[in-house]
Structures are given as structure tokens and as C-alpha cells.
A and B are shown apart, each in its own frame.
Chain A
Amino acid sequence: MIRLYDYVLSGNCYKIRLLLAILDLEYEAVAVDFYPGRAHREPDFLDINPLGQLPVLEDGDVRLRDAQAILIYLAAKYDGTREWFPEDPTSQGEIAMWLSFAGGEIMNASAARLHDMLGYELDIDKARAAAHDAFRVLDDHLTEREIAGRDWVAAMARPTIADIACFPYVALAGDGGISLDDYRAIQRWLDRVKAIPEFIPMPGIHLFPRASERAM
């Protein structure tokens, strides 16, 4: 059985839960006391992932860290239709580019959230500014996709793991005091992701738009 080392408030863990739900896969969740216990920095967990980060996925003999790597693995192995991670090189290259963006630039929004919510000490102005830079890039990109008649982050006609990877920390931006008011294309895209039939929420992501997400 697939095992997910999980933290309920983590957007990176949530993206794995979301794909597991979409692919209708059963799994065992191992709850980790990320906060307040910081169990992910304790020796027991460092044996599992020396980087001390969540999530980690185990499937038989396979053990993977890094949310984006796990998305690729699950979609490539368990999505028989290959719609979530198509096999052609152009799609894979493009999806990898956005997975990297999800694990890189977008994580500034996660940092702002850790500061505002759990009291992490970091430069909050810098984190929010960098998150806005990333959101501007994403919003411009999604606007261009809409003009091209496409709804999703990658060029395909359907959502892919690129959408799943980018979604959580954009949707949770308000938790870190980052308003999405100026990003209309992002707001429309968030609604489309939430309308995926197998969509599941996480705490902080509401199925109805909150004031800061609502288009005027």
C-alpha cells in the first residue's frame, strides 16, 4: 500500500493528497507533527528524508521526497490514461518547467504563510514581494492561455500535474497576507481547479471564494 508521510496544513502534502484522490488511489497517511513538534527535524524522520522535508511517499521499494517528484511518479505509474502527465516530450518539458516553478518561486507564498500563521522568523516583506513577482508571471501566463482558448497551466486541453503542483500555495496566499485581488486570470483558474470532479479541499481552501479571492 502507498504510504504518505503527511502534515495536514502543508500545501505540498495536500497536492499529493489531491492527486491521490483524483487517481482514486488508496493510501496510508502517516501523520507527522511538523508543528509545533518539529518532528520532521528529528533523527527518526531524517532517516526517512535527510532534507527534513515533507511530504515523503513510499510505494513498495520506492521512497521519494519532493512533492513535484512524487506527482510525476504517481501520474506516470497510476494514471492509465496518461492525461495528467502526457508522454510526449513537449508536454513533459513544459510540465517540468511549471513543476520547478511550483517548487521554486511559488514557495515564497508558502514562506509568507509560515511567517503569518506559525510565527516563522523570516523577511516577510521580501517573501511577499517575491510571491507577487511569481503570481504576476503566472497571471500573465494564464491570461495568454485563455486568449489561446486554453484553461490550464500547461498547453494541454486538460489539467495536468502542473496545475496540481501550482495550485495549493496560490490558493492559500491569503493565509500569508497576500491578496489575489490583482490577479484575475489566477482567480478564474483557481475556480476551474476547484471544479475538477474529484477535487478535495484542504483547511484554508474554501469551495466558495473568500472576499480576497473574489473578482469584482
Chain B
Amino acid sequence: MTKTTDATALHDWQVIGRVEDIPRGGARRTQLLGQNITAQRGPDGALSVFEPDGHNRSLPTRERHGHVWTSLGKPGRELPDMPEFEEEGRRLITCGAITVRTSPLRIVENFLDLAHFPYIHTDILGVEPHTAVEDYKVEIRRPEDEIWATECRFFQPQAATSAGGGQISEYMYRVTSPFVTILDKTCPIREGAWDLIGLFVQPLEEDICDVHSFVLVFDEENSDEAMLHFQQMIFMQDRSILENQIPAHLPLDSRGEHAIPADRTSMVYRRWLRDKGLRFGAIP
């Protein structure tokens, strides 16, 4: 295992755990981009992250969106705003790190794909014969440099723990950095509101990552545990599929692959990564 030389990945913020994974007086030893790191919190609550095999060089830290972030380089910008985290009445459920043996880029790409719902999340996020993905919009927003896919509509038998039955869900996908993606999704119980579901992917090595997922929802009925189980169930349905994707690294050159309209977000994502010069977990 060696630390990556990929400047795009090095100089970005990366997630390394939930806030509660590093309690007062506790530590989390983990990996980031091929580098061992240790995150610890002193008795006074102060958080520090350092490279134990790099003369204990201390790294920048942030605690936002329920998680702890650091960078092996010098990030040129702050973490993206997610104002929903400050909204009254929402409940945050963080699901903890689940390790997946594939490229972090494959995790994000799979998350962006509406077309797999009826086949992998059968009777929950999709069902046959409602397999068609309607037309939607994809754009790269400047100056934030984020991918947004909007007006995605899909029939879902059980869109969330709070859903009483089938509904047409509307989705908005947002990719804020190569390993961070969230979606806004029609809230089943509150008209006009959006539930948030996100994946903060911690790139351990090029072909293995810890996925930190969360939901940030309006739900007055279900327990935290029920929502946790729902979210973990959905993610675990994807995990074994992801681990069997070949090659594990994501090819960024899409020539030679057949694209259907449903794949447009994926095409934009791959091109956006290529334009950034990202190589970690990718086949350029």
C-alpha cells in the first residue's frame, strides 16, 4: 500500500468517519488514499488527525454533515454547504462505514443510476414493469463545480421507511466531489419537502473503500433503528453487485461502451472526473 500521487484526490476533503466514531479519549485508525491515518479526540473534545508513518504530520480537520473530514493535501475550497443539515424537524441517521471491495468511483456511479432500482431493489425502490427511466436534466453547475441531475422521476413501491405505498418519486442528484454524492428525493409524508440520502465514500485504496451513508429526513413515525435497517438493507443489496463489477477501477474513456439515455449522469460523471485529471480508482 502506498500513498497516492493523485493531486486531485490529495487536495480534496475526504470523509474518515462519523463524528461519534471518534469519541472523547477515543481514536479511529484507518486508511485514506493508500495512507494510514489516525483520528483521535482528546479528553477536551479536540479532534486531531495525523499520519502515524509520516512523522505524525498533522492534517486539517472539519466536523460537518455528521462526519469527520480531513485532507492529505491543501484543499482549495471548503466543504460544500448542505443547508438541510440545519433545517428544523429533520432527523439524521448515520449508517456507519461499510467496506466495499471496489473503486470509490464505482460506488458513486452506481448511486447515480436509477435504472438498477427494479432489478436490485425489487419491490422497494423499483418494480417491473415500471423500468423505464424518463428523461431528466444533467448539468455541471459553476462556479461550484458540481454535477446536478434534476427532474428524475421513477415509480417506487416503497420509496422510504415512511412510505405508505407506491409513489412516483422525484429525484435530484448532486455530486459535489469525486467521492461525495447526495440525492434529494420526494418526501413521502410532507408535500413539497425533499428527503436527503447521501454517500460519503472514504477511499481506502484504489479498489477498496468505506462507504459512510446517511439519511436526513422528515419522519415522525419510524424509529431510528427502523430507518437504519432500511438504509443498510438498500446499500447491502448493492454491495455484492458492486464487488462483482469488472474491472474494479472505473474506465473514464467511455468510447466503445453503449450509452442509453438513462446513463447520461454516468457519462457526465466520467467526463467530469477526466477533466479534473482524477486517476485514483480510475482507468484513464
Which residues of A lie under 8 Å from residue B97 when comparing CB positions?
36, 118-119
From B101, B229, B241, A8 is in contact (CB under 8 Å) with B229
Which residues of A lie under 8 Å from residue B236 when comparing CB positions?
8-9, 203-204
Contact B99 A204 (CB under 8 A): no
Give the nearest-CB partner of B97 in chain A: A119
- Complex Cα distance A35/B229, Å? 9
* Residue picked from B18, B98, B224, most chain A C-beta under 10 Å: B98
- Complex Cα distance A117/B96, Å? 11
Which residues of A lie under 8 Å from residue B239 when comparing CB positions?
117, 175, 203-204
B233 interface contact, C-beta 8 A: yes
Query: Which residues of B from 100 to 124 have beta carbons under 8 Å from A?
Result: 101
From B225, B233, B244, A203 is in contact (CB under 8 Å) with B233
Query: Which residues of B from 117 to 171 have beta carbons under 8 Å from A?
Result: none
Contact A118 B98 (CB under 8 A): yes
Q: Do A204 and B240 form a contact, CB below 8 Å, given A31-B223, A33-B228, A36-B18?
A: yes
Shortest Cβ gap from A73 to chain B (Å): 24
Contact A31 B232 (CB under 8 A): no
- Complex Cα distance A149/B135, Å? 54
Give the nearest-CB partner of A203 in chain B: B236
Residues of chain B at interface, number, CB under 8 A = 28
Give the nearest-CB partner of A8 in chain B: B229
Which residues of B lie under 8 Å from residue A117 when comparing CB positions?
98-99, 239
A126 interface contact, C-beta 8 A: no
Contact A204 B224 (CB under 8 A): no
A116 interface contact, C-beta 8 A: yes
Give the nearest-CB partner of B96 in chain A: A36
From A36, A118, A206, B94 is in contact (CB under 8 Å) with A36
A212 interface contact, C-beta 8 A: yes
A33-B225, A118-B97 are known; give 14 further A-B pairs, CB within 8 A.
A8-B230, A31-B226, A36-B18, A39-B225, A116-B101, A119-B97, A174-B243, A203-B233, A203-B234, A203-B239, A204-B237, A204-B239, A204-B240, A210-B241
**In the A-B complex, the 8 residue pairs with the closest CB atoms:** A36-B96, A203-B236, A31-B225, A8-B229, A31-B229, A203-B233, A203-B237, A8-B233
A residues sitting closer than 8 Å to B (CB atoms) are 6-9, 30-33, 35-37, 39, 116-119, 174-175, 177, 203-204, 206, 210-212
B residues sitting closer than 8 Å to A (CB atoms) are 18, 21, 94-99, 101, 210, 223-226, 228-230, 232-237, 239-241, 243-244
17 contacts across the A-B interface (CB closer than 8 A): A7-B229, A8-B229, A8-B230, A30-B225, A31-B228, A31-B229, A32-B225, A36-B97, A118-B97, A119-B99, A203-B232, A204-B236, A204-B237, A204-B239, A210-B240, A210-B241, A210-B244
